[in-house]
Amino acid sequence: MSKILAFTNQKGGVGKTTSTANVGAGLARVGQRVLLVDLDPQANLTKGLGLLEAEQNVYGALLGEYRLKAYSLRENLALVAGSPALSGFEKVKGDELDREFLLKELLEPVRERCDYILLDCPPALGLVTLNAYACAQALYIPLEAQLYAADGLAKVLELVGRVQRRLNPELAVGGVFFTRHDKRKVLRRDTAEQLRAQHPGLVLDTVIRESIALGEAPHLGQDIFTYAPQSAGATDYQALVAEILTR
């Protein structure tokens, strides 16, 4: 039975999609069977991994228009495409009974065929994100170590508590990790140290350093290991994968 990990933050631009793609690719490289699910209406995970013409996507599957379709990207790695139509999911399904469990029901038949299912959540704490939290075993929260990072983390942790009580008692925070990190910048270094002190055991050891290659790879539809295997980004995500596998 696969383990479902959700990559989430209510703030955009923190490397959530980049992390979903590269953690997924890194897990696949070490022999894990991985399914990525693009739940962000921007569909950047889908485009950034080179899937440009997907006839079937997660939105249509959630609406029951067709069965869940996973597109193979490479060995051990497949992707359920995202769709801009996900922005209307709450309007369409908001009054439906058990609306928070639609994704869980959709993924249940494929869980035996995967080791990991990684969910790229939208940067909003709405119904799509609740569906992800309702079926995940662990959340991973990328953060930039800057002034308002603690505020974004607090909002996610608050929602996690409510989901644990009402929808998914198995949900846990797998870890928080810093992205676009530059320890030479005093504010980022101090913020990182402050959050480690506030949340002992929650902040992972691995940090993802600022890397040009991480920004370039999606433009070619590639993960960092394919695009620049010797880069700092590849080294950091390889370390993050190793840390996730031990948790």
Residue 186 confidence (pLDDT) above 60: no
Residue at 178: amino acid letter: F
First and final CA of the chain: distance in angstroms?
17
203-209 β-sheet, strand order: 71-74, 77-80, 34-38, 116-120, 3-7, 138-143, 172-181, 203-209
Q: Choose the weakest-confidence range: 16-25, 64-73, 75-84, 181-190.
A: 181-190
The domains located in the chain, with CATH, are 3-245 (3.40.50.300)
pLDDT digits (tens, 9 = 90+) for 130-164: 999 999 999 999 988 676 666 778 888 888 999 99
- Give 169-219 as a 3 state SS string: CCCEEEEEEEEEECCCCHHHHHHHHHHHHHCCCCEEEEEEECCHHHHHHHH
pTM over 0.75: yes
Residue 125 confidence (pLDDT) above 80: yes
Render 42-107 in DSSP notation, one character per residue. Answer: T-HHHHHTT----SS-HHHHHTTSS----EEEETTEEEE---GGGGGHHHHHTTSTTGGGHHHHHH
Mean of all residue pLDDT scores within the chain: 92
pLDDT digits (tens, 9 = 90+) for 39-79: 999 999 999 999 988 999 999 999 999 999 999 999 999 99
Average pLDDT over residues 112-124: 96
pLDDT score for 181:
72
Closest to 237 (Cα-Cα) out of 21, 31, 20, 23: 23
Residue 22 confidence (pLDDT) above 60: yes
In terms of residues, how long is the chain?
247
